[in-house]
Amino acid sequence: MQRRFQSRRAGGDFEILALPATLQEESRLMPGMIRMGEGFHGQRLTSFAPAAKLPRLLRLAGMGSVPGLKAKDPGDMQALDPGARRAILAAVDELRAESVAMLTRLVRCPSTLGNEASALNEMARIYEGLGLAPQRIPTVPAALEGHPGFSPPLISYEGRDNVVAVFTPREKKGRSLTLQGHVDVVPEGAADMWETPPYEPAIRDGRMYGRGAGDMKAGIISYVTAFRALKRAGLQPAAEVQMHSVIEEECTGNGALAAMLALPRTDAVIIPEPGPGLPAMYSAEVGVIWAWVTVSGRPAHVRDMQAGVNAIEAASTIAAHFKEYEAQMNRAENIHASFHGVNHPVNVNLGTIEGGEWNSSVPIEVSNALGRPTLP
Ligand SMILES: [Zn+2]
């Protein structure tokens, strides 16, 4: 399928080439998953789990309570024994220095797309330290491609197996839980805008700075610390707890899918993503489509510009169409029920652009790549 747009400003019509063939769709969350925190990176999402839903989510997640939240029915949530609660919180405090050291080691791993091995190995060591046997879960496109959550791979999965560990209690009583986090990080961006190098984590004013420290290596270490604190407090989970360290959350989501399908399904999943500092839990999440758009023009010398079609101007017209689409998708009547009241959940991001040959020639080709979230 090719779509044709008219562009008076660019002096002709042009086609979007290659768009449908390279669509990458990602369904980040399966039913039953809970994602904590801000959700999608860079957006100003406030909260999209209505408070009324939280007790049910918390119960599903096997959690007693979250400060500031009240269950509608006091019997709705199983309260945590106050003594056990104190013991767990004391254990968390005692583990603070070790947790920071653990996070520092993980942030030192430059785990951008394709380079996740060091972070995955670090996670395997961390799981071993919990007394669990880490398992490697390969991401095999042929085994996943029939699943609606699958996205076309960007690069090879060789040497990038996801790492998981499973805790099994002697006697299974409660509901099972998966704690999941991604080890991949986005590129570092402009080096001169970092106060300290991205993979040399530094602590300033009680915050750790480093690429991936917030998104979401701190989340991973938080769940590891929670697990360690339980043990230290003389407690243990009453049901199976799976821990998943996965790749490609920042693009395809295939790592999470591979890990999820390789292990028995648990009653709930918690993904401790970074958040805006609110006690919020999210029950739905936007997906992502990546698209690469190539715009072809017609070459001409600048003095005879009217004879050509300027691919760069044409690309900006296409960009405007995508922005119109974005505005349309964010209208109240088009927003998914889980996102009502959320400021601008669908965002079209024009991420990269390249094209043009010479300042005085009408450019004949320009490519740009964009990402846009999809509603569940
Ligand atoms: Zn993240």
3-state secondary structure 175-222: CCEEEEEECCCCCCCCHHHCCCCCCCCEEECCEEECCCHHHHHHHHHH
pTM, rounded to two decimals: 0.74
Angle at which helix 218-232 crosses helix 82-94, to 10 degrees, equals: 120
CA of 182 to the centre of ligand 1 (A): 7
Q: Which of 154-158, 159-163, 309-313 has the lowest mean pLDDT?
A: 309-313
Contact 116, 247 (CB under 8 A): yes
Token digits of residue 329: 């998708």
Bridge partners (DSSP) listed for residue 244: 164, 180
CA 200 to ligand 1 centroid distance, Å: 20
Quote the ligand 1 centre to 218 CA distance (angstroms).
Answer: 10
- Name the phi and psi angles at 283, rounded to 5: -100, -5
How remote is the CA of residue 248 from the centroid of ligand 1, in Å?
10
Q: What is the pLDDT of residues 325-370, one digit of tens each?
A: 899 988 888 887 777 777 788 888 898 899 988 888 888 888 877 7
Band (pLDDT 50/70/90 cuts) for residue 151 is: confident
Instruction: Tell me, in angstroms, the distance from the centre of ligand 1 to residue 246's CA.
Output: 11
DSSP 246-274: ES-TTTT-HHHHHHHHHSPPPSEEEEE--
Tell me 41's DSSP state.
T
Q: Shortest CA distance to 227 belongs to which of 236, 218, 240? A: 236
How does strand 268-272 pair with strand 33-36? parallel
Contact 165, 126 (CB under 8 A): no
Q: How far is the CA of 40 from the centre of ligand 1 (A)?
A: 7
**Mean pLDDT to the nearest integer, 273-277:** 68
**Ligand 1: distance of its center to the CA of 259 in Å?**
16
Q: Hey, how many other C-beta atoms are within 10 angstroms of the C-beta on 90?
A: 13
Measured in Å, residue 234 CA sits from the centre of ligand 1 at: 32
Identify which has the larger pLDDT, 8 or 207. Answer: 207
- Between 15 and 209, whose confidence is greater? 209
Domain with CATH 3.30.70.360 in the chain: 3-22+286-374
CB 161 within 8 A of CB 139: yes
pLDDT value of position 282 = 72
| Residue 214 CB contacts under 8 Å (≥ 6 apart), including other chains | 274
Cα gap 234→243, rounded to integer Å: 20
* Distance from residue 21's CA to the centre of ligand 1 (Å): 26
The backbone region for 32, taken as left when phi is positive above 0, alpha when psi lies in -120 to 50, beta otherwise, is: left
Under 8 Å between Cβ of 183 and 120:
yes
Residues 49 and 89: their CA atoms lie apart, in Å, by 26
CATH architecture, domain defined by 3-22+286-374: 2-Layer Sandwich (3.30)
Residue 183 pLDDT > 80: yes
CA 346 / ligand 1 centre spacing (Å): 17
- d(CA 284, CA 256) in angstroms, rounded, equals 16
Question: Domain 32-282 is classified in which CATH homologous superfamily?
Answer: Zn peptidases (3.40.630.10)
pLDDT band at 277 (very low <50, low <70, confident <90, very high): low
Report how far ligand 1's centroid is from the alpha carbon of 328 (Å). Answer: 27
Average pLDDT over residues 12-36: 31
Q: How many angstroms separate the CA atoms of 57 and 77, rounded?
A: 10
Distance from residue 217's CA to the centre of ligand 1 (Å): 9
How remote is the CA of residue 249 from the centroid of ligand 1, in Å? Answer: 7
Mean pLDDT to the nearest integer, 36-52: 31
What integer is the mean pLDDT of 284-308? 83
Distance 216 CA to ligand 1 centre (A): 5
Domain with CATH 3.40.630.10 in the chain: 32-282
pLDDT of 363 reads 85
Q: Which contiguous run of DSSP H or E holds residue 127? A: helix 117-129
Tell me the C-alpha to C-alpha distance, in Å, between residue 131 and each of 69, 134, 228.
34, 9, 10
Q: 97 pLDDT exceeds 90?
A: yes
Q: At 71, is the pLDDT very low, low, confident or very high (cuts 50, 70, 90)? A: very low
Give the distance (Å) from ligand 1 centre to CA of residue 184: 8
